[in-house]
Amino acid sequence: MNNSTNVIKDNWNQWSETWYQKYRTDEVITKIITSPKSAFHHMTYSIIQEAIPDLNGKRVLVPSSGDNHAVFAFHLMGAKVTSCDISEKQLENGYAIAKKHDWDIEFICDDTMKLTKINSKEYDFVYTSNGVHVWINDLKSMYNNIQRVLKQDGTYIMFDIHPFMRPFGIASRETIKVEKPYDLIGPFGEVPTFKWRMQDIMNAIISSNFNVRRIEEMYAEDGSFWVDDSTDEGERLSEQDLENYCNWHKNPLAAIPQWLSIKAIKV
């Protein structure tokens, strides 16, 4: 494991025990139990339904599983799920929730770019959720290994921030502020992150012997997208404030898609 990967891992272990706890409250988990599809953007959920109408008994891998919301949702839909993440603390906290509810979920600590602990050709479906790509320094390795662990004709679906959002800062919502050129991908910051372009993601998927079947560019489902979730900003905003964030006349960045989903099949 290289030094930058160690830095990311150490920071996620710390964040998991601090501000990230808000994603593990009883209220949050109860919402997923009550409505598993709430763990997904409605368009992404429709793509999942289209690709695999019946998840019952399917082998599903969620690399860089993070908050494990998708993991819990897939389990509740009947899938046999493996949660894989580089952060031991994220996995420990996910396991604690699964144990509390008597959910049979496999948790494996591994690097999404390597998946060395995941056997080849074992999974029907691999899903990566919001916030994965920004931590990946080698997209080709990630997609090669996602392809490797899928069964023949297996499905990969991703959901993440649309690359068109990456050049802009969202703190100032009245005017558009350009923070970097689109083609400047990083790494950025002491905890290294990457701002991949559409072509970087697509070329990595295509070159890894995937057949891209569907692409959807989506808008935020509510104004919480524009709130910095590592602060208490959201608690100070009214419903009208949040609604205004999705109005492109008041927030110009709302005019471009905020989310991206891609469906691809292993060939």
Structure confidence by residue, pLDDT tens digits, 106-163: 999 999 999 999 999 999 999 999 999 999 999 999 999 999 999 999 999 999 999 9
Residues in a beta bridge with 61: 82, 126
CATH of the domain at 121: 3.40.50.150
Region 77-93 average pLDDT:
97
Mean pLDDT of 73-98: 97
In whole angstroms, what is the distance from residue 40 CA to residue 248 CA?
A: 23
Tens-place pLDDT, residues 192-240: 999 999 999 999 999 999 999 999 999 999 998 988 776 666 567 888 9
Q: Is the pLDDT of residue 176 over 60?
A: yes
> pTM for the whole thing?
0.94
Quote the tokens at residue 234. Answer: 């959201």
Is 190 exposed, middle or buried, given 0-12, 13-18 or 19+ CB atoms closer than 10 A?
exposed
Say what the pLDDT of residue 106 is.
98
Q: What is the band of 1 on the pLDDT scale with cuts at 50, 70, 90?
A: low
171 band by pLDDT with thresholds 50, 70 and 90: low
Contact 266, 209 (CB under 8 A): yes
Q: Is the pLDDT of residue 261 over 90?
A: yes
User: What pLDDT score does 25 carry?
Assistant: 96
pLDDT at 219: 96
pLDDT value at position 21?
A: 93
Backbone torsions φ then ψ of 138, nearest 5 degrees: -140, 90
* pLDDT at position 122: 98
* Cβ-based neighbours of 181, under 8 Å, separated by 6 or more: 167
Task: Tell me the residue range of the domain where 31 lies.
Answer: 3-266
pLDDT tens for each residue of 12-57:
999 999 989 999 999 999 999 999 999 999 999 999 999 999 999 9
Q: Count CB neighbours of 116 within 10 A.
A: 9
Q: What is the percentage of the chain residues whose pLDDT exceeds 70?
A: 96
The confidence score (pLDDT) of residue 149 equals 98
Identity of the residue numbered 69: H
Residue 95 banded pLDDT, cuts 50, 70, 90: very high
Q: Count up the domains in the chain and report the number.
A: 1
184: alpha, beta or left? (left if phi > 0; alpha if psi -120 to 50): beta
- Residue corresponding to tokens 């899928």: 150
The arithmetic mean of pLDDT across residues 170-176, rounded, is 74
